[in-house]
Structure 1
């Protein structure tokens, strides 16, 4: 089996050795049908397999039982644990699409342009937004960097109405390495950092959306560490946010996010999850977390 090394470097969930989809499917069938449901077996299998392996398990389960694994688990499990397990069973693209839909369906008609742009993007366009430079396509275009920096500045200063669509266009259609240089160049046109400009010029959902985009571009790991801190601070835990990050990043870069979390929060992500969650939901998240950096 050939693993994607780029994905594996920061992953806390990796392909399982000696993988047997048929056996896992059998074990899950037993765990689902047993009286009271064997949540621990379900957690131990699905949080310790890669997404590709989970898709194979779902296929083997349906072939064996003539029923869909996600539908059976939706009935068998409840609450936050169900959200984690059902999220793990979706492919990354389907999980992102589902989460976007859930986020958007309750919005009113006066939501920001950013929301409208994100809703109108095709899957291909969304992937293009986030992809990094490929080998042989990393030529630095300093003229384009300068144009983009000037456009970002002018969009906020030269017209009576601020040109937020121009900002959104630049921030979503350029690569991360390019935008990092644009943000540095921006200071030659503005006395403010780009984040300060956003705080001063935008409000509400638009401000939040632009800040999220910029902070994610500047440092994805710090961005997600901040979001995890946000999910678990104060009274009550934001389970949806916590679940979404843990499920979507565990096979990508959760190890680096863990390090940033410890650096910023003073305690490990593992410890924070242990303190702020409980029961089978806690066990599932700790398994995805992959270790304690205490």
Structure 2
């Protein structure tokens, strides 16, 4: 993964992969009366995203049919949404989620924050390319048109994908940046959000951790408390997402998964997006963080919150 984070996936490429055999098995599972959901789930949750693309290609070659369309016609509800998400190449999936977040009335800022605040430069650029190809407009222009104020400036800055991605740490520069953040926030009347934007968007991960440590040494409290006190609304959520994902990436995604399931009703689209996008990256680490933070395993949370084949498919991806 980018930024030197450890890979700890729960879904890895299938060792004895045979796309033709998988395509034939999926065709058989969907042919005739009824649908064999068990086979569909078993195959698709045990193959990497790249392998699923090969299966779809084989399916079209063998039967002249679109695998995603066939899956859509055979499945329904949350299981359909989850399975279709598994079949889409990740850059296109992220682009679709961002586009959907900005389409129609209102904006789902949670999606913009979750994606743009946690991606590497390369990932952001690949998503931008997919977005442009799919919608004929740039991600940056849609962000500008759909957000406002300091939150818009943060999103546009992140969309540029210009973070320093070295692992160099300069303690003296970290002290200076910590002082700049203090002067821009707690030591003045009103907040100079541009300083927070500049430092949090551009500095490398190791340097930011040093800056956060310096800030805590200077003030006696962590930088999250300063952001909580100095900012409000979406800009506060965005800055906190950057800080939390820099300090503990797995912990940040564990919190997002928890929020998707806590309370009355499940935010299924959010849960699906998080599971689909993290299962090939760092889901093992996220599960450990989840259990530490909430005293209950992610699997148990899903089992209690979801049902039927949808639950089985989610559990297959996280286990």
Q: 2:226 aligns with which of 193, 197, 212?
A: 197
Separation of aligned partners in 2, 1:218 and 1:267: 22
Gapped runs of 5+ residues in structure 2?
A: 108-145
The answer to whether the 8 A contact 2:254-2:287 is kept is yes
Separation of aligned partners in 2, 1:222 and 1:116: 26
Give the TM-score normalised by structure 2.
Answer: 0.77
Tell me the equivalent position of 2:150: 113
Q: 1:146 aligns with which of 155, 161, 175?
A: 175
Separation of aligned partners in 2, 1:148 and 1:274: 45
> C-alpha displacement at 1:277, in angstroms?
0.3
Tell me the equivalent position of 1:228: 257
> C-alpha displacement at 1:34, in angstroms?
3.4
> C-alpha displacement at 1:174, in angstroms?
2.3
Separation of aligned partners in 1, 2:5 and 2:53: 17
1:282 aligns with 2:311: yes
Which stretch shows the higher mean deviation, 206-215 or 271-280? 206-215
Give matches, 1:254-293, under 5 Å.
254-290=283-319
Separation of aligned partners in 1, 2:181 and 2:7: 34
What per-residue deviation string (whole Å, max 9, x for no partner) do you get for residues 35-76 of structure 1?
233222211111110122112112212222333322332333
What per-residue deviation string (whole Å, max 9, x for no partner) do you get for residues 215-251 of structure 1?
1111011111122222222221121221111111111
Give the root-mean-square deviation of aligned CA atoms.
2.6
> C-alpha displacement at 1:85, in angstroms?
1.3
Separation of aligned partners in 1, 2:56 and 2:152: 33
Separation of aligned partners in 1, 2:59 and 2:263: 41
Distance 1:240 1:23, change over 3 A: same
What per-residue deviation string (whole Å, max 9, x for no partner) do you get for residues 104-140 of structure 1?
3343656453355436765xx44x65x9x5xxx4332
Gapped runs of 5+ residues in structure 1?
A: 1-5
Tell me the equivalent position of 1:53: 51
Give matches, 1:89-128, under 5 Å.
89-105=87-103, 106-107=105-106, 111=148, 113-115=150-152, 117-118=154-155, 125-126=160-161
Q: Which has the higher contact order (CA 8 A, sep 6+)?
A: 1
> C-alpha displacement at 1:271, in angstroms?
1.4
Q: 2:77 aligns with which of 73, 76, 79?
A: 79
Give the TM-score normalised by structure 1.
Answer: 0.84
